[in-house]
Amino acid sequence: MKKLHPRQSILLKLLKDNIDNPLTMLDLSKESEINSPGVLYFHLKQLEKKGYLKRNPENPKDYNVMDLPEKKVVYINKYGLAQCGPNGTVLSGKIEERIPIASSLLKFPVELAFIVEAKGDSMEPKIKNGDIIIAKKQNYAESGDIVVCVFNEVAIIKQYLVIERRIILNSFNKDERLLEVFGESEIKIEGIVKNIIQYN
């Protein structure tokens, strides 16, 4: 990897040391003694360009340091499944907590992982209320995938189906009605469900 500016080395150490409890931009500024937001942003971008860091541009506390040794336990951001409003997304919302997960559960890069908690019974029996859902960040899906998405400004978990060129959001609970997507603006796919952790 490319050589780091002294300030970038300081920032990288701070990010590593606080990987399980990420710092805000204000915290980073104070701890690194970089008072200018512009200078701080520049050095963070340089860390990304040099391959040391991957960040979620919509959420400064969502990042992964790329040269850390592989851990048996990784911490994944958990987001709320809440009403998102116009142009809202799950991943731009508040991180509720970081949940420790066995790295062996992930068959894809940890920086692409996020967690939501299932709400309601619309996806029973496969997904129950309170289940922990591990998803892979991805803005597209294939027919049959279970997706975390925003549909009509509400964050939901559904099965994505394409039937005769129609996009349908299916619930496994047969008492729930099918949801038809009439335009791309109605839906924003956030990720594909990869693991379901059930506690009951």
Quick one: residue 120, left, alpha or beta (phi over 0 = left, psi -120 to 50 = alpha)? left
Confidence of residue 70 (pLDDT cuts 50, 70, 90): low
| Backbone phi and psi for residue 42, each to the nearest 5 degrees, phi listed first | -60, -50
Give the range of the structural domain holding residue 44, as residue numbers without chain letter. 6-65
Phi, psi (rounded to 5 degrees) for 85: 75, 175
Residue 154 confidence (pLDDT): 86
In CATH, what number is assigned to the domain containing residue 89? 2.10.109.10
- What is the CATH classification number for the domain harbouring 45? 1.10.10.10
Q: Please tell me whether residues 40 and 104 are part of one structural domain.
A: no
Has residue 98 got a pLDDT over 80?
A: yes
What is the overall mean pLDDT for the chain? 86
At residue 38, the pLDDT reads: 92
Q: Count of domains in the chain?
A: 2
pTM of the model: 0.65
Express each pLDDT in 131-165 by its tens digit.
999 999 999 999 999 999 999 888 899 999 999 98
User: Do the Cβ atoms of 161 and 84 come closer than 8 Å?
Assistant: no
Nearest-angstrom CA–CA distance, 196 and 11: 35
Which neighbouring-strand residues pair with 59?
56
- Asked, for residue 91, whether it belongs to a domain, the answer is yes
Domain shared by 95 and 179, yes or no: yes
Residue 160 lies in a domain: yes
155 backbone φψ class: left, alpha, beta (φ>0; ψ -120 to 50): beta
Same domain, 130 and 179: yes
Q: What is the pLDDT of residues 79-97, one digit of tens each?
A: 887 555 556 678 877 788 8
Query: At residue 12, does pLDDT exceed 60?
Result: yes
Residue 82: its pLDDT value, please?
Answer: 56
- Distance between CA atoms of 11 and 7, rounded to whole angstroms? 6
The residue among 77 and 87 whose pLDDT is bigger is 77
